[in-house]
Structure 1
Amino acid sequence: MTLIKEQVNVEAQAIAAKKAARKISLLTTEEKNEALQVIADTLEANYLTILEANEADLQTGREKGYDEAYMDRLALSKERVFEFADGLRQVAKLEDPTGIIASSWTLENDLLVEKVTVPLGVIGMIYEARPNVTADATGLALKSGNAIVLKGGSSAISSNQAIVDVIHQALENTKIPKEAVQFISSTDREATQQLFTMKEHIDVLIPRGGASLINAVVNNATVPVLETGVGNCHLYIDKEADPVKAMNILINAKTDRPAVCNAAETVIVHKEWLETHLSLLIDTFREHNITVHGDELAVKLIPNAVPAGEDDWKNEYLSLDIAVKTVSNLEEAVDHIDEYGTKHSEAIITENQQNAELFMNLVDASAIYHNASTRFTDGSALGFGAEIGISTQKLHARGPMGLPALTTIKFKMSGNGQVR
């Protein structure tokens, strides 16, 4: 009986979101921006309430023995709450992606054709441990004229509920109906699975989390999916890499925030560079407490390195572990990335411009870097404001998904009685 009640409630929430989406689509840019400002202010004013709820989730995590990387993704602080509140203000300053006439032309019969950007409608967001996604996704959805149905993971249930409660409180004082932001509080998997098949109410699903979550959505959903991907990101240190530049990038990409998807998980090193700069690489690993999982040569040369197995080349460690692969040329590096990469973010460090261009042209990923850290694959870092995820697919949107990714196209034709 309980299961039936949850099914009805989830569908009712989706229907309410769809009705609200129609109202949002008629709002002006100024009205949407004002709502985001109010939400940001209200989140900051209520940060203690959010942190209290987050502490309940963290305590549960400690009791269940969540690892350090997972706890880092789950944890909030005053600074983090203020950061995602400020992210909403940044989104409010961005250009409205809707109502833009992408192109227009007039046919020989004087029928005017306009290709216009419009909201997707209702976005279903399925995500795991990051409570900040609740605010980020909401802000992007509302600014782009969409309603959103949020289904966060059970580990952050209290934090997400508190954030949504504050958002609803804020929306009471705006032109956006609070029904535009729906939060599915049930932790039953059946509630999540319902979103997979609600094509009549949900226009697109966006999964954000680990490989198992993303695969479950991609493989089971009948609703169109904007696929995000895990980040098995690689740094290739080329034969002609500047050693200081290489180590600075490696340190940032691996240690700045190891638990995020744009952190480096594998470093591929040209053997000639390794021979010349081995002591520098060893000192870097030792100084930053990085555990090396290496191929045969790496294990031989790097103290305390452990042999890498097949899983190490595939692994998204999300910790201070890194896989080290040695190669004889750029082509071997590209081949390794082609086999084990997740099409997220890949980087080459080299002073050889020809090698850099070859690498950037050959590697298949949503973000490619030359002499820069993979940590820039992020909506705010690239000037999009908050992001709703990193798309690793090739249709509709790819890379960090900001506001334009949450729109589609409508053709508007204006005539004066023309018939065909």
Structure 2
Amino acid sequence: MMNLKQASLSEVREKAAAAKQASRQLGTLSTGQKNEALLLMADALINEQASILQANEADLTAGKENGLSESLLDRLALTPARIAAMAEGLRQIVELPDPIGDTLEEIRRPNGLLIVKKRVPIGVIGIVYEARPNVTVDAAGLCLKTGNAVVLRGGSSALHSNRRIVEVLHEALAQSEVPADALQLVYSADRSSVDEMLKLNGLLDVVIPRGGQSLIQTVVRNATVPVIETGAGICHTYIDSEADPSMAIPIALNAKVQRPSVCNAMETLIVHRDFAQRHLSELTDKMREQNVELRGCPETMRLAVGVKQASEEDWATEYNDYILNIKVVNNPDEALEHIRRYGTMHSEAIVTENAETAQRFLEEVDAAAVYHNASTRFTDGFEFGFGAEIGISTQKLHARGPMGLPALTSTKYIIYGNGQIR
């Protein structure tokens, strides 16, 4: 059996080549054949829950010994409920329309040529991600449904969990028409395995990074394979002067504390001075009750107790933890300027009863998802009705926002003639 900590560089190339070969068969399968495989995978996760949890416990134990933060341990941890959610995500993907083969456009030329534009698989997708074992299942399900083979390289902290999950999924695929080689997991925890993946032109058609800013920028800077960039989530919620406090305070709490370790959690709360003078003390009290460490501007420190001075670095930090920045502003212009300066074009929210102010915010904020009177925590493929998601793209080419099935397709022009020459 291959050692979890060591593998030759050839492991990456061999698995990518196997995925490439499998992609040719996978791309010819019907929707029914792919859906049957996904249902088998979902059942297998439930049936093998005990062994998956045992593997996850080994990762959690190692993570604690290595000093992983509570937020990272939360990302890493699996529970029966989380495994059930992973299986349900696969079943939801089954219920979604298969985009492969969809006709997007038909053009009849004056010379009689019929040009048809159709959706086709991308081919082989490489995914580099950190900590969260559920990504293994989400990525497998979305890629296989769209006829794409996938090469996964998870974080070293989740090696045992990811390996057992893929073993379980392979056992399920062996009972289906989907070739098991279409799903590959790189075992090597060495950084060089990522470097090699990023340069597998001809084997990988695209690489998608999922993780923190450091991982994403490493992939973007070093890849020669095309990259779909998923972004870090420095997400803001702006509470306007005309916000309803009975709505604004629960939204802010949910955006921060419901699950702080994920990319759509709020990192900075921006509050209009008028609202802050009336309600900021109550809001910060509730945050502290949830063990949130507060950092803020001088006005925040004046209006609320227990707030540390926020540094320039704080405003530009994705904490993924129980830490919140608070900025008091005089008007929506200052809120918009702060978001332009520190936002990562992920998810931004405004809470206000003023429709005109809300509309201006929705139009002027440049982000993949912009909310009015709702928590940023909804930026998620499952919540958007996509089933699972492959990631949340903050770039503007090909795909933006939560990437579901259509984002994992390319297009092909098919031209029908009857003897035309040029």
Asked if Structure 1 and Structure 2 have the same fold, meaning a TM-score greater than 0.5 normalized by the shorter chain, the answer is yes
Matched with 1:303 is 305
CA distance in 1, matches of 2:18, 2:383: 34
CA gap 1:49/1:331 in 2 versus in 1, 3 angstroms? same
Matched with 1:33 is 35
Matched with 2:317 is 315
Structure 2 residue ranges without an equivalent (≥5): none
CA distance in 2, matches of 1:366, 1:221: 23
Matched with 1:229 is 231
CA gap 1:315/1:5 in 2 versus in 1, 3 angstroms? closer
CA gap 1:326/1:6 in 2 versus in 1, 3 angstroms? same
SS at match of 1:6: coil
Give the AA of the match of 2:203.
H
SS at match of 1:380: coil
Give the AA of the match of 1:202.
L
The Cα offsets for residues 301-337 of structure 1, whole Å up to 9 and x where unpaired, read as 2101000001110111112210000111101101000
Matched with 2:10 is 8
Matched with 1:52 is 54
The Cα offsets for residues 127-183 of structure 1, whole Å up to 9 and x where unpaired, read as 010000000000000001100000001100000000000010000000000000011
CA gap 1:28/1:239 in 2 versus in 1, 3 angstroms? same
The offset of 1:229, in angstroms, is 0.8
CA distance in 1, matches of 2:280, 2:46: 48
Matched with 2:25 is 23
Matched with 2:94 is 92
CA distance in 2, matches of 1:134, 1:334: 36
Matched with 2:369 is 367
The offset of 1:4, in angstroms, is 12
The offset of 1:106, in angstroms, is 1.2
CA distance in 2, matches of 1:12, 1:289: 47
Any residues of structure 2 matched to 1:377-416 within 5 Å, and which? 377-416=379-418
Q: 1:120 aligns with which of 116, 122, 125?
A: 122
The Cα offsets for residues 198-224 of structure 1, whole Å up to 9 and x where unpaired, read as 111000000000111100000000000
Aligned length: 419
Matched with 1:284 is 286
The offset of 1:25, in angstroms, is 0.8
| CA contact 2:296–2:310 (8 Å) conserved in 1 | yes
Matched with 1:193 is 195
When normalised by structure 1's length, the TM-score is 0.98
Matched with 1:336 is 338
Structure 1 residue ranges without an equivalent (≥5): none
Give the AA of the match of 1:329.
N
Any residues of structure 2 matched to 1:42-81 within 5 Å, and which? 42-81=44-83
The offset of 1:42, in angstroms, is 0.7
| CA contact 2:269–2:324 (8 Å) conserved in 1 | yes
Q: Which moved more, 1:116-125 or 1:102-111?
A: 102-111
| CA contact 2:281–2:305 (8 Å) conserved in 1 | no
Give the AA of the match of 1:398.
R
Q: 2:175 aligns with which of 151, 169, 173?
A: 173
| CA contact 2:235–2:346 (8 Å) conserved in 1 | yes
| CA contact 2:6–2:189 (8 Å) conserved in 1 | no
CA distance in 2, matches of 1:140, 1:115: 22
CA distance in 2, matches of 1:142, 1:156: 22
When normalised by structure 2's length, the TM-score is 0.98
SS at match of 1:267: strand
Matched with 2:135 is 133
CA distance in 2, matches of 1:225, 1:183: 19
CA distance in 2, matches of 1:48, 1:278: 46
SS at match of 1:113: strand
CA distance in 2, matches of 1:328, 1:128: 39
| CA contact 2:146–2:408 (8 Å) conserved in 1 | yes
The offset of 1:5, in angstroms, is 7.0
SS at match of 1:268: strand
CA distance in 1, matches of 2:215, 2:311: 24
Give the AA of the match of 1:184.
V
Matched with 1:246 is 248
The Cα offsets for residues 211-262 of structure 1, whole Å up to 9 and x where unpaired, read as 1110000000000000001111000000101111000101111111111111
The Cα offsets for residues 395-415 of structure 1, whole Å up to 9 and x where unpaired, read as 000000000100011100011
Root-mean-square deviation (CA, aligned residues, Å) is: 1.3
**Identity percentage of aligned residues:** 53
Q: Extract structure 1 runs of 4+ deviating beyond 4 A.
A: 2-5
